[in-house]
Structure 1
Amino acid sequence: MKFAWFEVAALTASVANANSLAYSPPYYPSPWMTGEGDWSEAYTRAVEFVSNLTLAEKVNLTTGSGWMQESCVGETGGIPRLGMWGMCMQDAPLGIRFSDYNSAFPAGVNVAAAWDKRLAYQRGVAMGEEHRDKGVDVQLGPVAGPLGKFPDGGRNWEGFSPDPVLTGVMMAETIKGMQDAGVIACAKHFIGNEQEHFRQSGEAQGYGYNISQSLSSNIDDKTMHELYLWPFVDSIRAGVGSVMCSYNQINNSYGCANSYSLNKLLKGELGFQGFVMSDWGAHHSGVESALAGLDMSMPGDVILGSPYSYWGTNLTISVLNGTMPEWRVDDMAVRIMSAYYKVGRDRFRTPPNFSSWTRDEYNFQHSMVSEDWGKVNERVNVQRDHAQIIRKIGSDSTVLLKNKGGALPLTHNEKFISILGEDAGSNAHGANGCDDRGCDNGTLAMGWGSGTANYPYLITPEQAIQNEALEYSNGQTNVFAVTDNWALTQMAALASQADVALVFVNADSGEGFINVDGNEGDRKNLTLWKNGEEVIKTASQHCNNTIVVIHSTSAVLISDWYDNDNITAIIWAGLPGQESGHSLVDVLYGRINPGGKTPFTWGKTRKDYGPPLVTVPNNGADAPQDNFEDGVFIDYRRFDKDNIEPIYEFGYGLSYTKFAFSDIKVTPLASSQRGEYKATTGKSQKAPVLGEPSTVSDNLFPEGIKRVRQYLYPWLNSTDLRASSGDPDYGMDSKDYLPEGATDGSPQDLLPSSGSSGGNPGLFEDLYQVTATITNTGSVTGDEVPQLYLSLGGNDDPTKVLRQFDRVTIAPGQSLQWTTTLTRRDVSNWDVASQNWVISGAQKKVYVGNSSRKLPLSADLPSVE
């Protein structure tokens, strides 16, 4: 098992093919943490703690103990000498995976559809509280990768929106909420992880594809900064404690060993102060990945379930034999412990009280090797009153796409209601009957894969509608459901008798390790699942008041039926979590006036969205290549560029009332007169060296620790480093293959755009204030989402880009003045030549309205130096 040297052949191949394939240039050394800003106190405490550790103890903080060796999906080693147990990493971005007595929250895409920063924060707090009280140290979310380059991308729903600003704001608010609750958030997957096909070569081989390397996302510098990196900047500014590097390659260098993306972009340019952890199985090398900026290996083993690790003992040896400087391990440990102290883990911490591997109360504590029987599930209920926030997010994220003649809200006077479609009902195997939700049975309330949680219950639309109708009619309403999507004759009979036919359809997707009906994570197409189009057609042919409700992970194709006169209303309800039915009836019956806006564009064809997913190997047996040729032009930006009329544009959503916009005003702020934006100059401090230099004898296996089979330890079995490594090639001089400057701990030049929290601080200076008046011209109180878009004015710029938004409640007849600001970052472009942000000389213009194509207000921006 090699531990210390680079994958020389792979590195050489990348250089050799640089002329024909995208190439990621090296950037070394890995920047060390500075502890600036809000990190100062935590950094000081972390330095003190790490300074008193042995080398092996530092390494133990960086390396997982192995797949299924502890309670959580990933768990580092601890510091037994100090009574500190390992740190617990647990999915997921919508609740606790593999647990019980926890909540199942709405997916990230629903949070984006609510366009409500306060709800995003409240959801973050609630999820953080549940993870905290289950003993979780790091919640593996939220998600900005995938951003949503492909509408059929499998995991788009785990994130928020293909717009970087909407995603960035929701990432930041979610992170603040989670970390205020006392758990470390993990922004993932960094970066370019936009599809499930070929994300891992081994997974693809299991599906029969002959490839030897994972897919490469080939992204140019301008696109990287202006699109994909944007929400990670917001995450860093929110103080996120950890970032997860992705499975895919970036310009033909693996994401967890990509020195350019980790060392230069994330730590150098954006000043990220926390730690970088690998995705599970995304760690491919030893010293290479450490020097390239990886700080924590998850779950620690080379292959899930193997007894070998690139790190652990091998990382300890790489320092002792002089291959890697100890300051790099010091920096890893300090970053980890700084995040730990920053969110207050030392105050909130409790050992994990659940097992990811069984729901039994008693089982093996080390499940992988069936050792140490004991109590593994305490069955601690952490749900609190979180059903209330779940229900509110579900209703507030509901998007009313069509409402002909005021078909909605329903009145409680309906005499005959037909509920049609499998998506209205229960999974016959139970709400948790499919592992990781890996099926599409019954109503859809979350996608599938590691981004899921077990339901404590699931309120279906059928249950909620029936209860609502019967309660308010004292049992006088006739309510019937047909939930077999092929029972079209029975559906037709019910629809022909109904005052209203409520039709439920869906489209599912998820993570690539699960294949549902030939959908290998990513969707095969954008059509509805399980005969959905025929269900709609049948109902609308027999009922002239057909209302369609869509549960889906992203857009679906609706061209064939959306404008049918008999289809009076269309609702997109997304993936609303455990309170699905309750959230829906709140909107159907008007208790909640819908205020959700679609967080993506509804096109007429798949082609409208731009390039397709890469689903066929296109580089022989080597890494498939996904050239991001669309640049920054994804979703509504693509539709605007190609002058394509969507069915429903980004940001669109109806209400039971109406709003008018007026009186836009743009005011340059005093801060904009402070002078020209200044590039960062100077050098860093030298790499700090903590404690005393390590010796071999300091790192021998301690006495009194019971060894578990296949458990990954950091200690040496012998003072003979060759024997401890178990590596037959130990004598190879690995230092010959270290990249230039990779071990240099001397002061380093600072990047022009760099800063301690997301980049150069001048970027976040407010330059303009924009105000507009919003009036409720209807008859009921409602929520509106004012949206500000900006034209940057350049020939290669999108027609417009979202820059600010809010969600406001306005009573009928009343007006509200909405005020927002634009920062230097908002009005800048990335300049590749100077490697900095610049404000171009092109005339810039702001637009305000309630969707990307309904922007009644506009004004030119005064120029700023």
Structure 2
Amino acid sequence: MEYLRSAYDSLRGGQRVLSTKTAVSSLLCAAGCSMQPGSDVSELPYYGRSPPVYPSPPGNGSTNSRWTTAYADARRLVAQMTVEETVNVTRGWPGICVGNTGEVPRLGVPALCFADGPNGIRGQEFVSAFPAGIHVAATFDRDLMYRYGRALGDEYHGKGINVALGPVAGPLGRVARGGRNWEGLSNDPYLAGVGMGAITRGIQAAGVIATPKHWLLNEQEERRRWAPDGDAISANVDDRTLHELYAFPFMDALREGAGGIMCSYQRANHSYACQNSKLLNGILKTELGFEGFVVSDWDAQTSGVGSANAGLDLTMPNAGFWGESLIQAVHNGSVSRDRITDMATRILAPYYYLRQENGYPPPAVYPPTHKHFPVDVQEDHAKLIKEIGAAGTVLVKNVNKTLPFKKPRFLCVYGYDATVKASPWENPDRYGGGYEANFGWNTLNGTLITAGGSGGTTPPYVVSPFQALQERITKDRGILRWDFYSEDPTTYANTEACLVFINAYASESFDRASLTDGFSDRLVLNVAAKCPNTIVVVHSAGIRTVDAWITHPNITAVLFAGLPGQESGHSLVAVLYGDVNPSGRLPYTVARNEADYGALLEPATSPARFPETNFTEGLYIDYRHFDREPATPPRFEFGFGLSYTAFAYAPDLSVAPRRPPADMAAYPDPAVPVVQGGHPSLWETLFVVRCTVTNTGDTPGAEIAQLYVGVPGGDSPVRQLRGFVRVGPLAPGEGREAVFELTRRDLSVWDVAAQQWLLRRGPYEVWVGASSRDLRARRTVVVG
């Protein structure tokens, strides 16, 4: 009857008009039935089911003493609230921020200010435009990831924003053409997890609440939202894949104390993510011990009582299906007083966890048309942006040491991506616009430093590649020739190199139509046909195929320059001229042909009333897919990247257990309580791996040593990333030890039957090398 009341409440009090059949079906699935209309649940495959998990577990602050204190403060405050005041905290209100919670003036509870986005504060003045998440991931540098998060947090704090809407691991990047893959931190769960943890720690070290998003399975833009003519897409995934791929990186953010989690728009196993009791009550709040609040994506709430009981704590940007309706639901018993008390407590506990009650600045965010005294929060972040921009630039081709440049005196620059304003017939206001301004931009409108939608940034300036090249060649008393517009530009006999700049754009609200484009490919080929030293630079929001021209003999160097932020040109020129020896690595696999991605190429499309996409590939996305399909080797594999020097790996890989492998329990001890981030023993180091890396070239440089693990059992990918270390910079001839720690989680699989992480008995293969396919040292370790 509770479930039926949920359905009735949403039909009666909702703001959205649904047919009775549609509404009841969706709401009952939120309660756990997960049936398609007209289907028998017994006929559905396992990945289509979302079992019910009720009631919503209350937060208890037991993770550590800091959470305990925060919960005591929050409970003390919420205990004084009336039902009306408590409900008011759980909803958004119109205000100056992207999201504003309800106030309780009588008790001094302020409206909390929420703002986009994961790589910079959107739509504001005197803020920085940081590199995108995918670019940060390409650094494979834990220290830079933390410093990035800390700088972001400092800017949010300076603007008086309580809650930063990021970082991102959903989408993870399952779909190669996914429109928002660039916001995330690669399609490998380990790399994404390290980034999520480091960035979350950095943001919250600045006193700002991090909100990792989007929980969970938000892997495409096509049909991601409910519409009058049909439900959102249902992302159907099996339990093991859900844990080992999609929830995996969120665990790292939770372990670092994330105070918020944003749930996503689409359905997950036929139940809307913001009212999916298995995802919210079961996995997030019980299994992973989440202490903070779950906030809906903007207008992602699709029911009233159903979402409250399923674990949603805060709806944005307005009252949604709550407000007065939630007050009525408490009074009539559809939602318990304990549940709304827990909602408000969970919202306020992170506020106290980060001591925001102690002199936190008031919000200083304004619409661009509003005259105001500017609050400048940029500090010296441009230096960090330049450093990350260079560190995330990936050199994938370099014939006969074309790069680095050796004081060239004559360079030619071609392509729409070389400068801020390229096309004379397009609107020049590419940057500085609002949310919608990013959607319609096309590839002829200037250099790409960010992509579109709520994750787009508002840079104070943009240093284009052309500007930075002008600055550099001026010092050498050289000359430049350029043509930003032509598809077949003129070349010059005396030029020492031709640089061609192209890009690949993506945005929230739509997926990419292709991983290449004809205009750019023709431009590259036309220049290469006439210039024997052609260097191609690709600024890309994700995968960009290059086989149309990559093997051309006149193309001597190629760089994937990502989405580097406002210092784009300076970062690139530092690499071109050898001020920085490139160490960036691809955070995804670049195939030879788009078709090589198979079913993972493009989003699922369906005109059906109840569309769905089945993640039947399981664990085999990106490089795991290509490792399983030897007939389609990639052009550039995950983790690949060149340097201006060379590195050797000692073959004698050392793997030392922290305790005898026979004593390692198969499952975590059930007597030990779960903390935020999962069972504590999942983070226990079981093995330490050591490998010596030596610079065998003639140039100082740093190597990204990567560790991959093969799990026994025959039902896992042949290898999975489970460690990476930036080694260096190393002087020529210098060697240094790369040290990796393998945790229980790194070596475990999710046991669907036991509903626990399982450390299998048997031989584990351990590789260390320069990419997912360039493996230099190997060792077998037996557990049990």
For normalisation by structure 1, the TM-score amounts to 0.83
1:349 aligns with 2:360: yes
| Deviation for aligned residue 1:244 | 0.4
Q: In structure 2, what is the equivalent of residue 419 of structure 1?
A: 413
Matches within 5 A, 1:141-540: 141-202=166-227, 211-301=229-319, 309-355=320-366, 358-362=367-371, 377-412=372-407, 414-427=408-421, 429-432=428-431, 435-436=434-435, 437-438=438-439, 439-440=441-442, 441-471=445-475, 473=476, 475=477, 477-486=478-487, 488=488, 491=489, 493-512=490-509, 521-528=510-517, 531-540=519-528
Q: Deviations over 1:256-305 (max 9, x none)?
A: 0000111111111111111100000110111110100000001124xxxx
Q: Partner letter of residue 446 of structure 2?
A: G
Q: Partner letter of residue 621 of structure 2?
A: I
Secondary structure of the 1:804 match is strand
**Structure 1 residues 754, 10: CA separation in 2 closer, same or farther (over 3 Å shift)?**
farther
Secondary structure of the 1:85 match is coil
* Larger CA Rg, structure 1 vs 2: 1
**Structure 1 residues 5, 548: CA separation in 2 closer, same or farther (over 3 Å shift)?**
closer
Q: Deviations over 1:738-772 (max 9, x none)?
A: xxxxxxxxxxxxxxx97112222222221111110
Secondary structure of the 2:281 match is helix
Q: Is the 8 A contact 1:828 1:837 kept in 2?
A: yes
Output the CA distance in 2 between the equivalents of 1:754 and 1:627.
34
Secondary structure of the 2:241 match is helix
1:863 aligns with 2:756: no
Give the alignment partner of residue 674 of structure 2, picking from 741, 755, 760.
755
Output the CA distance in 1 between the equivalents of 2:603 and 2:353.
42
Output the CA distance in 2 between the equivalents of 1:138 and 1:781.
41
| Deviation for aligned residue 1:523 | 0.5
In the alignment, structure 1 segments of 5+ residues that lack a partner are 206-210, 302-308, 363-376, 513-520, 683-752
Output the CA distance in 1 between the equivalents of 2:664 and 2:458.
54
Matches within 5 A, 1:374-773: 377-412=372-407, 414-427=408-421, 429-432=428-431, 435-436=434-435, 437-438=438-439, 439-440=441-442, 441-471=445-475, 473=476, 475=477, 477-486=478-487, 488=488, 491=489, 493-512=490-509, 521-528=510-517, 531-612=519-600, 617-618=605-606, 621-643=608-630, 644-662=632-650, 663-670=652-659, 676-679=665-668, 681=670, 755-773=674-692
Secondary structure of the 1:825 match is helix
Secondary structure of the 2:745 match is coil
| Deviation for aligned residue 1:564 | 1.2
Output the CA distance in 2 between the equivalents of 1:12 and 1:238.
35
1:113 aligns with 2:138: yes
Q: Partner letter of residue 642 of structure 1?
A: E
Output the CA distance in 2 between the equivalents of 1:83 and 1:35.
22
Q: In structure 1, what is the equivalent of residue 766 of structure 2?
A: 846
| Deviation for aligned residue 1:676 | 2.3
Q: Deviations over 1:154-184 (max 9, x none)?
A: 0001001000000000000000000000110
Q: Is the 8 A contact 2:697 2:732 kept in 1?
A: yes
Q: Is the 8 A contact 1:271 1:758 kept in 2?
A: yes
Output the CA distance in 1 between the equivalents of 2:153 and 2:51.
38
| Deviation for aligned residue 1:569 | 0.3
Q: In structure 2, what is the equivalent of residue 819 of structure 1?
A: 739
Q: Which moved further from structure 2: 28-37 or 454-463?
A: 28-37
| Deviation for aligned residue 1:822 | 0.9
1:33 aligns with 2:59: yes
| Deviation for aligned residue 1:107 | 0.2
Q: In structure 2, what is the equivalent of residue 835 of structure 1?
A: 755
For normalisation by structure 2, the TM-score amounts to 0.92
Q: Is the 8 A contact 1:614 1:626 kept in 2?
A: no
Give the alignment partner of residue 90 of structure 1, picking from 91, 104, 115.
115
**Structure 1 residues 12, 255: CA separation in 2 closer, same or farther (over 3 Å shift)?**
closer
In the alignment, structure 2 segments of 5+ residues that lack a partner are 1-5, 12-22, 422-426
Q: In structure 1, what is the equivalent of residue 26 of structure 2?
A: 10
Q: In structure 1, what is the equivalent of residue 424 of structure 2?
A: none
Q: Partner letter of residue 837 of structure 1?
A: W
Q: In structure 2, what is the equivalent of residue 703 of structure 1?
A: none
Q: Partner letter of residue 399 of structure 2?
A: K
1:47 aligns with 2:75: yes
Q: In structure 2, what is the equivalent of residue 58 of structure 1?
A: 86
**Structure 1 residues 485, 315: CA separation in 2 closer, same or farther (over 3 Å shift)?**
farther
| Deviation for aligned residue 1:451 | 0.4
| Deviation for aligned residue 1:680 | 5.5
Q: Deviations over 1:702-727 (max 9, x none)?
A: xxxxxxxxxxxxxxxxxxxxxxxxxx
Could you tell me the percent identity over the aligned residues?
43
| Deviation for aligned residue 1:794 | 2.3
Output the CA distance in 2 between the equivalents of 1:106 and 1:545.
29
Q: Is the 8 A contact 2:432 2:459 kept in 1?
A: no
| Deviation for aligned residue 1:10 | 2.7
Secondary structure of the 1:329 match is helix
Secondary structure of the 2:589 match is coil
**Structure 1 residues 456, 671: CA separation in 2 closer, same or farther (over 3 Å shift)?**
farther
| Deviation for aligned residue 1:613 | 5.7
Q: Deviations over 1:569-624 (max 9, x none)?
A: 00000000100000000000000010101111110112222314665643x53221
Q: Partner letter of residue 621 of structure 1?
A: A
Q: In structure 1, what is the equivalent of residue 707 of structure 2?
A: 788
Q: Which moved further from structure 2: 121-130 or 606-615?
A: 606-615
Q: Partner letter of residue 494 of structure 1?
A: T
Output the CA distance in 2 between the equivalents of 1:163 and 1:805.
12
**Structure 1 residues 388, 3: CA separation in 2 closer, same or farther (over 3 Å shift)?**
farther
**Structure 1 residues 348, 651: CA separation in 2 closer, same or farther (over 3 Å shift)?**
farther
Give the alignment partner of residue 50 of structure 2, picking from 24, 27, 30.
24
Secondary structure of the 2:212 match is strand
Output the CA distance in 2 between the equivalents of 1:324 and 1:564.
66
Q: In structure 1, what is the equivalent of residue 128 of structure 2?
A: 103
| Deviation for aligned residue 1:348 | 4.8
Q: Partner letter of residue 370 of structure 2?
A: E
**Structure 1 residues 617, 564: CA separation in 2 closer, same or farther (over 3 Å shift)?**
closer
Q: Deviations over 1:19-53 (max 9, x none)?
A: 45522111111111121123222112111121222
Q: Is the 8 A contact 1:411 1:589 kept in 2?
A: yes
Secondary structure of the 1:426 match is coil
Give the alignment's Cα RMSD to 1 decimal: 1.9
**Structure 1 residues 616, 264: CA separation in 2 closer, same or farther (over 3 Å shift)?**
closer
1:127 aligns with 2:152: yes
| Deviation for aligned residue 1:415 | 2.7
Secondary structure of the 1:843 match is strand
Secondary structure of the 1:577 match is coil
